[in-house]
Amino acid sequence: FAPTIGRDFEKSDRNKVIVNSSVVSLFNLSPEEFLGKEIKLTVFLTDEETGEVKFFGIPEKFEVIGILEEAGASPQIYVRVADLKDLPIKEYQFAKVKVRRNEEMKEVREKLISMGFLVSALSDTIEQANKIFRIIQVVLGIFGVVALVVAAIGLVNTMTITLLERTNEIGIMRAIGASPSDVKWLFLGESVITGFLGGIGGIILGIFGAHIFNWLVNILARALGGREIDLFYFPFWFILFIILLSTLVGLVAGFFPARRAAKLNPLEALRYK
C-alpha cells in the first residue's frame, strides 16, 4: 500500500484521504490536478438488524494527499480510523495491515491467524505468480533443449549432404594442393557460420514475435481497463549467450562431417558421382 502520486498517511494526519485512480476518473481530472483537492464524504451504513440503509454526512472536508494507481478497480477511498470514530461502526468487513519492514510480515501474519483472522497477503499472490512463472520457465526450457537437439541433428544432416554434394570439389581441392586440414577447417567454418547466423536469425524472430504478442496482450488489457505491461525481457547477456550457444552447436555439429571430409581419398573423391 503505497500511493503512486502524493504520500502515505502520517500519525499526525487529520482529515486526510488517499483515493485510487478510479475515483479520480469519476471527476474527469488528471491525478496531478486531483491531488490536494478537498472533498466531502458521506458514509452509508446498513443496520444488521433491520436491513435499513442509513447515511451519515461528515461535516469536515478531507484533503486528498495520495493517489493509488489501481486500473480496473472499483472506486475506493482510504480514511484513517481516527477520522471516523464518531460514526456508529461496530465491525469491519476487512482491514488492511501495513508492516514497517518486510521481515516482520511472517510474524505479524502468524499472530493474526492465531487471533482467528483470515489473512490474505499480497506476498501470497506474488508467490503463486512466481510458481506459475517457474513452471512456465521449466516447460520453455525443455522445449528449448529439444529444439537445440533437433537443430544440431539437422545441422549434422545438412553438412553431411553438403559433403556428398561436394565430394568432387574436395577431390579437386586436394589435387591442387589443399591439405586435409584445409578441407577440415573449410567445412568446420561453414558449420560455425551457419550456427552463428541461425542464432542471430532466431533472436530476431523471437524479439519480433515477443513484441507482436505483447502488443496483442496490451490491446486486450486496455479493452478490459487494465494497465499495459511488458511480458518479455531481453537482457544483453542472454542474447550474447544464445549467439555463443548456437555458434558452439554449429562447431560441434560440423566436427564429424568436417573430419570425414578431411579423410577422403583424393582419387576416390574425383571418381565419385
In the chain, where the domains are located? 5-96, 123-271
Q: Give the separation between CA 120 and CA 147, rounded to whole angstroms.
A: 41
Beta strands 53-68 and 5-6, pairing class:
antiparallel
Q: Give the separation between CA 72 and CA 23, rounded to whole angstroms.
A: 11
pTM of the model: 0.56
Tell me: the pLDDT tens digits for 52-81? 777 777 778 899 999 888 766 788 888 887
**For residue 245, what are the contacts with CB-CB under 8 A and spacing of at least 6?**
148, 199
Q: What is the pLDDT along the chain (273 residues), one digit of tens a residue?
A: 678 888 888 888 888 999 888 888 888 888 888 998 998 888 877 776 677 777 777 778 899 999 888 766 788 888 887 887 777 666 677 777 778 787 788 888 888 888 888 887 777 777 788 888 889 889 988 988 888 888 888 888 888 888 888 888 888 888 888 888 888 898 889 889 988 998 899 899 989 998 998 889 888 877 776 667 787 888 889 889 989 988 998 888 888 888 888 888 777 777 766
Tell me: the pLDDT tens digits for 245-270? 889 988 888 888 888 888 887 777 77
Class of residue 197 by CB neighbours under 10 A (exposed 0-12, middle 13-18, buried 19+) = middle
Residue position matching grid coordinates 446498513: 46
Tell me: the pLDDT tens digits for 91-113? 677 777 778 787 788 888 888 88
Q: Give the separation between CA 156 and CA 142, rounded to whole angstroms.
A: 21
Element (H, E) at 69: none
| Helix, strand or coil, per DSSP, at residue 239 | helix
Here the contacts of 200-206 (C-beta below 8 Å, separation 24 or greater) are 200/243, 202/242, 202/246, 203/239, 203/242, 203/243
**What pLDDT is attached to residue 14?**
87
**For residue 47, what are the contacts with CB-CB under 8 A and spacing of at least 6?**
53, 54
| 27 and 75 Cβ atoms separated by less than 8 Å | no
**Can you say how many angstroms the Cα of residue 219 is from the centroid of all Cα atoms in its chain?**
17
